[in-house]
Amino acid sequence: MVFSSITFLYYFLPVTLAVYFLMPMPNGSPRFRNTVLLLASLVFYAWGEPVYFFLLAFQCTSAWGFGLLIEKYRGRAGSRALMAAAVAICLSALLFFKYSDFFLENANSLFGTNVRLFGLALPIGVSFYTFQILSYIIDLYRGNTAVNKNVLEFSTYVTMFPQLIAGPIVRYSDVAEKLLKRGHSMKGFTLGIRRFVVGLGKKVLIANTMGEVVVLFKASGENSVLFAWLYVASFALQIYFDFSGYSDMAIGMGHMLGIEFLENFDYPYTAISITDFWRRWHKSLSSWFRDYVYIPLGGNRVPQAQYVFNMIVVWFLTGFWHGADWNFIFWGLYYAAILLVEKRFLSKLLDRLPRAFRRAYVILLVLIGWVLFDAAGMGAAGATILQMFGIGADSFAGMESTYYLRSYLVPLLIGVVACTRAPKMIAAKLLASRKVFTFLEPAALGAMLIMVTAYLVDGSYNPFIYFRF
């Protein structure tokens, strides 16, 4: 079940919210509402992934049990071993289901063997909930968060359906207080509805439309420069609005439930350096690798050779986290190389350039990165990148690329503008005139919901990229 579906929008979410708010909160305790949230989350997960439901349940109870042991033996012999065992068990499912075939396939190629691949489906959300559990175990061991002695409450944290299958990656320390006591208000609920509908519109009306261009490019035999640029621009918009829209919906539902999730995107395509870009894109993942990999390795407070090694390790893992294929690894190392060059040489030069040139530099490198990310293999990625610059292209523009550019120009321009702060600035100006905004906002949100519903009822193209991860 995805958020952008009729089943979720008009059945699951309304019923869940109705039952949730019917539950009492004695002395401000949300334990009854947490129970509803847990049950709804388990139904949500089992709906789309019944086979791996028990894997999720095992991961929750295992991490909870190890948490109790780590707390019990804190400061004593064996505490570190318990933490390591908990981390190993948590990672084992991710490594087995996501990477076993990758390692077997490469071993077969390297040694000329023919070991049969497992061919297992990837459990939905395993990359996200694994990292959430790891953050709890490691923070607990470090003494940065308190142990949770209630298995149902802890399971609620891990399985909360708004962020279960695609983030943002929520740390236990960020929501621990809200699991014990939280308030609800009409202001927070309406803010949540606004954020949810905007995210839904971003995902369905922009991301899905741009995704159609990506599919057309991959199915086409045209080898023109224009089509290559149209493809990569469309994919850049698709993945941004797909994932940021999903994050908006998750954050919006969090507001409805009285729980605040941290922001995950901050207009990354307006960044003025690649370093700045990664402070703005998928912030919960970037901060996770910073706090649990980069800083423990020594960060940048180490000799130069160690710093380079640390960066390579972090970005290798970042790429590999996204997918068990070489193009993801090279995508991660590509950014490691750029960030190292920025740190060592480019930062001072970039500081002297106009912001427009700095943004153009970021967009160019990010677009090349997205080709690596989306490619079926390194050969295909290289061919597309060369095609973008006219190398190996048959022409500058062909009949198909010209037709699709005209057909998708309006949504393409809307997507480009929506990547900037312009819509937010316009909304702020309208907000200054409360009488106008009071009427316009619900009308605009209602119209957007109607358009999304019509799109979904029509059975149009409705993928979700991050299901792959």
Residues annotated as catalytic (active site), given as ranges: 322
What does the alpha-carbon distance between residue 222 and residue 23 come to, in Å, rounded to a whole number?
Answer: 58
| Long-range residue pairs from 408-417, CB within 8 A, at least 24 positions apart, any chain | 408/209, 408/210, 408/212, 408/213, 408/230, 408/234, 411/205, 411/206, 411/209, 411/210, 412/210, 412/233, 412/234, 412/237, 414/206, 415/206, 415/210, 415/237, 415/241, 416/237
The answer to whether residues 255 and 242 touch, using CB atoms and an 8 Å cutoff, is no
Cβ within 8 Å of residue 26, ≥6 positions away: 32
The encoded tokens of residue 330 equal: 């090279």
The encoded tokens of residue 212 equal: 């159609």
What does the alpha-carbon distance between residue 449 and residue 440 come to, in Å, rounded to a whole number?
Answer: 14
What does the alpha-carbon distance between residue 394 and residue 381 come to, in Å, rounded to a whole number?
Answer: 17
The answer to whether residues 421 and 267 touch, using CB atoms and an 8 Å cutoff, is yes
Print burial letters for 387-405: b (CB count within 10 Å at least 16), e (below 16).
bbeeeebeeebbebbeebb
What does the alpha-carbon distance between residue 208 and residue 461 come to, in Å, rounded to a whole number?
Answer: 6
φ/ψ of residue 205, rounded to 5: -85, -30
Provide the 10 A C-beta neighbour count for residue 294: 20
The encoded tokens of residue 356 equal: 């427009």
For the four alpha carbons of 397, 400, 401 and 403, in that order, the dihedral sign comes to positive
The answer to whether residues 250 and 272 touch, using CB atoms and an 8 Å cutoff, is no
How far apart, in Å, are the Cα atoms of 89 and each of 60, 63, 317, 348, 399?
11, 9, 18, 45, 54
